[in-house]
Amino acid sequence: MALEDAKTQIDHAFTREDLKGPSFENVFGGAASFLRRKYTKDLAGVDVAVTGVPFDQAVTNRPGTRLGPRAIREASLLQPCDAPYGWGYDVLSEFAIADYGDLAFDYADVPAFPATLQAHIAGILGAGAGSVTLGGDHFITLPILKAYAEKYGPMSVIQFDAHGDTWADDDMDRIDHGTFMYKAAKLGIVDPTHSVQIGIRTDNPEPLDFTILDAREVHREGPEAIAERARRIVGDRPCYITFDIDALDPAFAPGTGTPVWGGLTSNQAAVMLRALAGIDLKGGDVVEVSPPFDTTGATAIAGAHVATELLCLWGWTRR
């Protein structure tokens, strides 16, 4: 059946009629939607909307993450023929997942960007869908969390990252990918006491009340034990996962703006994401994939797998 479908399927991002099911379109052909899901702005009947935010004007080092959503979509084309490995169910067949396209914004009006993104995500949530966002630099998580907090109240967050992003900055209008979590805590949209930062390996004088499970702890204790600690801290509260690709060691994800050695392996990340099954995940993002520095495409591949795992986690409690 798959072989016959591969002979006839093309531009499945536009031609498929059903929001569910695998796609056998040739990996090397056609329009590159995420996991060959249908591109649509109609959220009727959509369970989860995957959306891109091509913004990188808040970076402190190397830019390029504005090209991240496109690269992640292309990398995802390796996956939609089969159910995601190891989950025991096929999120692509059981849930209606759409590619909602990218956020439209005025690149020259940076101060207007946060409100534009917040409204974009609020529109998805207002339609009754969850969101998985492809970044973009890590600042984008702050407007997204504002939209989630409006619906669910203060969020528990599981943050995979090399950096805590809690450097003090009390100018709430300033846009910076290194201060967004500080602002999220100060604004009350995140509950630090029930949130976890995993993979950290840079000093930060403003940890606030976040539980930090740094990269050395992951290497020492193992990913299953770290995931179990994270589950206990988050409990049954509404949760959001933000995955900065620099949580991975540069050996696994070189294409990012602020790489730091000593990071997570791709296997450790995969094990932890799978072991978080059962948390009340409301949404998530993967950020900081910078294709200009991703010479082999490995970083985009990792980002595509993270986004797929987020979909699986979202669906786990809703099957």
DSSP β-bridge partners for residue 254: none
State the binding site. Answer: 138, 161, 163, 165, 244, 246
Angle, CA 318 vertex, CA 213 and CA 157 arms, to 5°: 25
> 164: number of CA atoms within 13 Å, CB side?
23
CA 255 to CA 300: how far, in whole Å?
8
Please identify which residue in the block is written with the tokens 């995955």. Answer: 243
Q: How far apart are CA 285 and CA 133, in angstroms?
A: 4
Kindly write down the DSSP assignment for every residue of 206-219, as one continuous string: --TT-EEE-HHHHH
Residue stretches of the annotated binding site for Mn(2+):
138, 161, 163, 165, 244, 246
Q: Answer for the pair 121, 282: CB distance below 8 angstroms, yes or no.
A: no
- Closest to 28 measured CA to CA, from 67, 74, 73: 74
